[in-house]
Amino acid sequence: MPNIKITTEEGDERLNRLLHYLTDYIYTVKVQDGVAIETYHGPGCFNVTGYTSQDHANDPDLWHRMVFEDDKPVVVKLANDALAGIIVKPLEHRIIHRDGSIRWVKNTIVLSKGNDGKVISYDGLITDITELKKAEELNSIKQHQLIQADKMVSLGTMVGGIAHEVNNPNNFILLNAQFLQKVYKDLLPILKEYYEQNGDFIIAGIPYTNAADKIDQSLQGIIEGVMRVRGITKTLTDYAKKDPGDLNQRVNINSVIEGALLITGNKIKNATRNFNVSYNPTVPIINGNHQQLEQVIINLISNSCESLRHRDQNISIRVEVNESNKEIKIIVEDEGSGITKENLKFIFDPFFTTKRNTGGTGLGLYISYNIIKSHGGELIVKSEVGQGTTSQIIFHYD
């Protein structure tokens, strides 16, 4: 192997090239008796922080002020440990760029010690990892969505089984209630005759004159309640079925809304005392996918419920038909907290959400927008902070 001689100058240049690829810039801190006496930020700091080397030199406290408030304790500890001669691990933390944006950096500190073992300086290698952090966050969100999707598949399987288990006793209750209703109807003439001959008497602690109507109403109430349970289980079962994605079904918009309200009924009840729905008996039948459109309405209703600050605020749904331009509108309005103009621009972007801390995924409106688009329609959202939000679904028919 031939001997290769590298001059000091060539070695320094090679080292600088390597450092350029390993880090975005280097800052150097001179230390005396455990105290930082001078700090120099290399020229690459401008690309990462928006401030020049001279800016940092003129304002020694600039770096500390740039550190994101929540991260300051760990960054200060990192610096103090370095000053004390403790070898520290690389730290990832946030800084506030000159333009106000938040950047992520990886801060790696390399100590230089004198013969007495005391720190005389240390170099900080700063690498901008903002894009990496964004990619990691996006990957984490996607992973979370895969988990949620798997849960929904399992839930869909469970719903069918649960609906079956609920329907068995529900049908038993229905048959018995209908039987008792017939029995009571046959008994009424006998009870009436007894009353006419003997005067009023007690049934279940209630005088016959009061009990007659109450018993019939109670039996009818049981039957109506059972039929409502049957409707809910059928809606849940249909909603959980695998959707073939066909857009050639004959869809009644009123029925879509009715199905969505069966599923979201409890959420609406908990969110507001003032809920109104206005169906339109003249709405034309359109071609589409009932299940997908139901999913959109469910999402819009859920968003409205979550935006309300107190139960006296309103949510309304109405269906409008404009025969002159062959247009159908589904309008969902609420008096909730509203959406800022800045956020309104991004609401249809995948994974964009202002409700990450409360379980928001940022996919609801993105999916809804694409469902309506695939149906040849439009989804328009208008909102003002503190005033509420109006969502319009627009379809055109022949």
For 251, 354, 391, the CA distances from 326, given in Å and listed in that order, are 16, 36, 19
pLDDT on residue 240: 63
The mean of the pLDDT values for the chain is: 85
pLDDT on residue 6: 44
Q: Residues 2-18: pLDDT tens digits?
A: 454 445 555 555 545 54
Exposure string of 200-225, with b = 16+ CB inside 10 Å and e = fewer, is eeeeeeeebeebbeebeebbeebbee
pLDDT on residue 2: 47
Alpha-carbon span 41 to 56, nearest angstrom: 7
Q: What percent of the chain has pLDDT over 90?
A: 54
For 101, 230, 282, 396, the CA distances from 285, given in Å and listed in that order, are 50, 25, 9, 11
Judge whether residue 210 has pLDDT over 90. Answer: no
Judge whether residue 50 has pLDDT over 90. Answer: yes
Q: What pLDDT band is residue 143 in, cutting at 50, 70 and 90?
A: low
List of domains in the chain: 8-128 (3.30.450.20), 130-242 (no CATH), 245-398 (3.30.565.10)
Q: Which two tokens stand for residue 36?
A: 């930082």
Within 10 angstroms of residue 332's Cβ, the number of other Cβ atoms is 23
Q: Which two tokens stand for residue 329?
A: 């509108």
Q: What percent of the chain has pLDDT over 70?
A: 84
pLDDT on residue 362: 61
pLDDT on residue 203: 87
Q: Which two tokens stand for residue 184?
A: 């009571």
Q: Which residue has the higher pLDDT, 11 or 367?
A: 367
Q: What is the mean pLDDT of residues 130-145?
A: 78
Q: Residues 282-303: pLDDT tens digits?
A: 999 999 999 889 989 999 999 9
Judge whether residue 234 has pLDDT over 80. Answer: no
With vertex at residue 102, the alpha carbon angle to CA 97 and CA 103, rounded to the nearest 5 degrees, is 80
Q: What is the mean pLDDT of residues 198-209?
A: 88
Alpha-carbon span 331 to 261, nearest angstrom: 14
Alpha-carbon span 299 to 221, nearest angstrom: 31
| Strands 378-384, 102-113: pairing kind | unpaired
Q: Where are the beta strands (DSSP E) in 16-101?
A: 25-32, 35-41, 91-96
Judge whether residue 152 has pLDDT over 70. Answer: no
Q: Residues 109-137: pLDDT tens digits?
A: 999 999 888 999 999 999 999 998 888 88
Total number of residues shown for the chain: 398
Q: Left if phi > 0, otherwise alpha if psi is -120 to 50, otherwise beta: which for 54?
A: alpha
pLDDT on residue 22: 56
Helix (H, G, I), strand (E, B) or coil at 32: strand
Q: Left if phi > 0, otherwise alpha if psi is -120 to 50, otherwise beta: which for 16?
A: alpha
